[in-house]
Amino acid sequence: MSVVTNLKESAMSSNLQDDIAYMKALAEAGNAGPLRSGYILMWAGIIFSLASIGQYLLMTGVLPQQAWVSFAIWFGLGGLFGVIAWLRNRQCRAITATGKASSSVWSAVGLGIGASLITVILVVYQTHETMALSFIAPILIVLYGVGWWVDARMSGLAWLKLVALGCFVAAPVLGLMAAMPEQMLAYAGCLLLLASLPGYILMKAEKA
């Protein structure tokens, strides 16, 4: 009787180990593969850094200092980025668990950026205090930092944490430049360094 019991226990233990190994293999397979957010983030940094430079030229009088010019810069280039992101998502959909989670994170960051922009614009409209526009750059760079930090945790790419920390350090520096035209140049530099460059590195890793 004890022999039969031992055989049953051994079989159950073996089946349990097989099940654990199978689930582990599924998890590893689901998390394998590069992050696919690099292409979109690279272009986000390039396009919105150009918009920031355009805003700087407006603030310094090189471009006509009229509201419609600012709207044309940001909404025009924002629309261009939207087309690029839409085409990319149609051509290349995330297939791994990590890739899907990363895509969801950056979609949330994008929605947060949009909501933040609308909120600040409405504050300016309601209060007629254009100083509130100085909050945009620090807030948006913080949102980029949140996205990079979550990507780093999900993917295991430790260097992305350094990118996230760079965003968190850059935000108060941009805050110190409030109401200065140079804030837009600094923001453009942050986008190229903390969005386009890491995005390019991820894009190259995806193709490797």
Over residues 26-65, the pLDDT tens digits come to 344 445 456 778 999 999 999 999 999 999 999 999 999 9
Residue 102: per-residue pLDDT:
85
Residues in the chain, pLDDT under 50: 7, 20, 22-30, 32
Tokens of 125: 């409209």
pTM of the model: 0.82
Residue 167: per-residue pLDDT:
98
Residue 154: per-residue pLDDT:
87
